[in-house]
Chain A
Amino acid sequence: MRLFLLLLTLAALAVSATEAQTDSTRASSPEMTSGTLDSPDLPRFPASWATSDFLDPSLALPDTTPPAMPVRSTAHLLPENMSFMERGLWGESGFFRSIGIAGELTPEARKSELSARRVMLTMHQIGGFVTLGLLGATVYYGQRYLNYSDRTDRSKHQEFVTFAIVSYGLTGLLAVISPPPLIRRNETSTTTIHKTLAWIHFAGMVLTPIVGGMIRKRSGKFSYDDLATAHFHQVSAYITTGVFAASLVVITF
């Protein structure tokens, strides 16, 4: 028993001697640091203690730090492939943001913009059907006027021309100024075909009324040149209406 106690005492002494030597080594080593860099009077402790596990974890106070809120990046709020118009109007420093119509680019702001986009594109769809009807009526009365030279048909044709142009302009504007989508890839899809056809019928919608305005009917008859212009106007109107209808139908595929 005495031998055991003696061994225990020797072991304890050996351990304390080793620790004292280690501490003196740490005190003279360059890794020694002070409590803070600016307070040399504070007790000094070895830097390695900062990572040691000498503290009893059970004595640690509970961590009351609130969980970090998920940080949502604005990097993917706008698509990479934005058109010139979209970038100018809805880009991070676009026109609508600079004048305050749209807020700063945040997830919340983008959600509002996407809701607005949905409303605008739904109205664009409805406007497309209305415009197609108006274009059909315009073509019908234009054709009647060419066939029968009835002035009533001519005045109805011109009324529908006005309505069709206004409806077309508003419908197109809704799509052009709508906020950009979340995703846009480089691809050929029904939407890209729809947009390509839109460029064609837009050209037709500009050209056809200009040519129509050039037709002059004198003494109730077309001159040779005016008849040629009227035929050009007629063909242009049919093609424009056809392409417009195709751009509407293609979106359903």
Chain B
Amino acid sequence: MITRVLAVACAALVCAEAPAQVKHLACMKDQSSMTYRLVHPLHKIEATSKDVAYDLEADPVAHTFKHVSGTVDVTTFDSGNSNRDSHAMEVIDAIDYPDASFEGSGFVQRGDSLYANGKITFHGVTKDVTIASVPHWSEGKLEVDGSFTLSLTEFKIDRPSLLMIPVEDALSFTFTAVFGLQ
């Protein structure tokens, strides 16, 4: 009798401490992207990069997240005007800092929204940020849509100007990261 009780207790303990099924989810690059928006008094600028490498460790069963990272080659942003993109590369010193990256490992879920706390490195400057996003779990894939805003001056970037008028300080990003669950 004592043996049976011990066996059941051990089994229960093992089940209770079974590790969550955290998996490394592969990014579907062809469906993922990142867009920045910059506002100038004369017009708004949008540039998109389809060359973003997202990396995610998550539990696809419990829908929980452990670690996320993303890296984008800043020279791949295309606003439809390469002269303007080249100007943007000049002001963010793309020769010295060709990549911008995010590493996040603290997650807070509030309703449908997921907040990832982490660090962004951009223009050689690293800052703590919280990125708001909405994960959409579906059959076979996870799509995460999110946004965040940075201050150009906080990242030591001189605001670019057109006709001697500088752009606004806020640099807004939206992103879509798609991961396969297979």
Contacts and interface: CB of A to CB of B under 8 A. Distances in A.
19 contacts: A79-B82, A111-B96, A115-B90, A117-B90, A118-B87, A122-B164, A125-B164, A181-B83, A181-B87, A182-B89, A182-B90, A183-B75, A184-B83, A185-B82, A189-B81, A189-B84, A191-B83, A191-B84, A252-B43
Nearest to B77: A183
B95 A72 contact: yes
A110 B75 CA distance: 15
Interface of B: 42-43, 75, 78, 80-87, 89-90, 93-96, 162-164
Contacts of A111: 93, 95-96
Nearest to A180: B86
Q: Tell me which of B84, B94, B95, B162 has the highest count of chain A C-beta atoms within 10 A of its own C-beta.
A: B95
Contacts of B89: 182-183
B86 A182 contact: yes
Given A252-B43, A252-B162, A183 B96 contact: no
Contacts of B43: 252-253
A34 interface: no
Contacts of B90: 114-115, 117-118, 182
Interface string A154-175: 0000000000000000000000
Contacts of A125: 163-164
A107 interface: yes
Interface in A95-138: 107, 110-111, 114-115, 117-118, 122, 125-126
B86 A187 contact: no
A189 B86 contact: no
B82 A252 contact: no
A122 B93 CA distance: 18
